[in-house]
Structure 1
Amino acid sequence: MTSASQALRMVRDALRSARIEGADFDARLLFEHVTGLSALDLVRDPHHVLTQEQLAALEAAQTRRIGGEPVHRILGYRDFHGLRFNLSPDTLEPRPDTEILVDAVAPWLRTRLTAAGSCQVLDLGTGSGAIAVSLLKEVAGLKAVATDLSAGALQTASGNARINGVADRFETVRSDWLADVTGRFDAIVSNPPYIASAVIADLSRDVRDHDPMRALDGGTDGLDAYRAIAEGAERSLAPDGIIGLEIGWDQKTLVSALFERAGYRLIDARKDYGGNDRVLIFAFKQA
């Protein structure tokens, strides 16, 4: 018989031996997911015996992690901005730095809604829906349209809107950036692909082998999506609206210049938790 504490220790040791970064944390996540037992449960009953089914499931999860599959892909979900988002092969795994974009845009949307009585945001390349759904939870009364080229991503995003209780204010449109978007929006937000094609091979295997390539590859210089947004946003953005974008750590100057040429001005810039440039907010230039 194998106790819960023994099983957790075995998974942790196996991940450490395989030199998995964050082995202890990942072991804990996998253990809790498979067994349903929390750290407090282990304190209360460290000798709790796991079933053979639980042990087999834990070993399978351990094998997948050692094989390079990200822990949250194994779990099937990731928490973001205090909410839970299911993942699929069609969606990027939302990262904590993207929360900076939500935090930067939400106050503006809240003020806009209070002043105008209504407010609508467009989330381009929504993936799991993390940005749009988080904004809907932050700003009561806000409405969101989320686009993606992947039908699978839109299905996942719709499911995440439903489980987080905002489906009645969430709409999806299948579109290649702004190509099939109609109407005007108070704000446009996006975490587009921004990695240069030649750099993709150098990414960690957790990212390279498991995040959808469409959500990573930003073209030769990493700026293809920003060009598409800058060139097409004018017909979709309200005259006094804003555009909020996540960027790569070294892209602030390039993306700012690109939007400047398209008729926008930079009104805010935020750094991520590591101190790198991460979010830019643009508005139309004043006449």
Structure 2
Amino acid sequence: MSATYDGLLRDAATALAAAGLDNVRFEARLLLGRAAGLSTEQLVARGRDEAPPAAVEAFRALLARRVRREPMAHILGEREFWGLPFRVTPDVLVPRPDSETVIEAALALLADRGRRWRVLDLGLGSGCLLLTLLREFPAAAGVGLEASPPALAVARDNAASLGVAARARLLAGDWRQPGWTEALGGPFDLLVSNPPYIEAAAIEGLMPEVARYEPRQALDGGPDGLDAYRAIAAGADRLVVPGGRILVEAGMGQVPAITEIFRAAGFSAEDPWEDLAGVQRVASFKH
């Protein structure tokens, strides 16, 4: 592998393409920038310079991880969501642009940014939904429920780094256990969730970054992918104020089935929200 910055980028792009990846030049720059401690602009300016041996070694190690299809967010240790930096580890689902649809819907439905809204996030993960909403609603307070202790630790770190820890009560708990709603307090003006919604038998067929590296608990929605929605709908009557909203992220084609689950639990369905690809991504309900 060439030891100039340009040479390292060329060879890395070839290796990443051979591994079946897209955006290979972009990813190569991210990895080399992290290994060398340089910005994209600095990499361009120094393209013909020889890279220090320590940077080359570090870059090769990072590149080998990406070639094995480890998620970029795990390699870099963070992922941007709604313009905010979130710490990411293998214990949490990598925040995705699709989930920003939940934020868009919440901001449209709860128009008063200065109100003291109470927000509940079920299946907290990295905290990207709840903590982003607390940033957008500076007077709001929130509760997050997470079944995985390591994931809960990540969310607490993110709450601290984003400056909203004082308004976020992050709790260990599992909606699969009896009495799971009791410790949450409430009722809440808004309930949000990006629950596991992949059919259990389909997980192994997902792209390698997901199937091999992301936490199965955050993916496995049971035999039909809808187990979590049933649990949330069963408990939501005690958690959401009359007139309050529920916004749940959904997989492709799942909104009609999710709508029937929540209607059966006594909630009124509203128009679903589409992501940037035009997929019905968020199911919306009113209590």
Q: Is TM more than 0.5 here?
A: yes
**Which structure 1 segments of 5+ residues have no match?**
none
- Aligned partner of 1:18 in structure 2 is 19
Post-superposition CA distance 1:216-249 (Å, at most 9, x none) = 0000111000000000011111122110110011
Matches within 5 A, 1:130-279: 130-177=128-175, 178-179=180-181, 180-279=183-282
Equivalent position SS for 1:92: coil
Identity %: 40
Could you tell me how far 1:84 is from its partner in structure 2?
A: 0.7
Question: What CA RMSD, in Å, does the superposition of the two structures yield over aligned residues?
Answer: 1.5
CA distance in 2, matches of 1:109, 1:211: 32
- Is the Cα contact below 8 Å between 2:81 and 2:96 reproduced in 1? yes
The code of the aligned residue for 1:249 comes to: M
Normalised TM-score (structure 1): 0.93
Normalised TM-score (structure 2): 0.93
**Which structure 2 segments of 5+ residues have no match?**
none
Could you tell me how far 1:269 is from its partner in structure 2?
A: 1.1
- Is the Cα contact below 8 Å between 1:100 and 1:270 reproduced in 2? yes
Equivalent position SS for 1:268: coil
CA distance in 2, matches of 1:19, 1:119: 45
Post-superposition CA distance 1:83-111 (Å, at most 9, x none) = 11111222000110000101110233342
Between stretches 228-237 and 7-16, larger displacement belongs to 7-16
CA distance in 2, matches of 1:189, 1:69: 28
- Is the Cα contact below 8 Å between 2:197 and 2:250 reproduced in 1? yes
- Aligned partner of 1:85 in structure 2 is 86
The code of the aligned residue for 1:94 comes to: P
Say whether 1:37 aligns with 2:28.
no
- Is the Cα contact below 8 Å between 1:266 and 1:281 reproduced in 2? yes
Could you tell me how far 1:162 is from its partner in structure 2?
A: 1.2
The code of the aligned residue for 2:125 comes to: G
Equivalent position SS for 1:144: strand
CA distance in 1, matches of 2:214, 2:190: 27
Post-superposition CA distance 1:2-28 (Å, at most 9, x none) = 222222222112212333233222212
The code of the aligned residue for 1:20 comes to: L
- Is the Cα contact below 8 Å between 2:273 and 2:280 reproduced in 1? yes
- Is the Cα contact below 8 Å between 1:110 and 1:139 reproduced in 2? no
Equivalent position SS for 1:235: coil
Size of the aligned set, in residue pairs, is 281
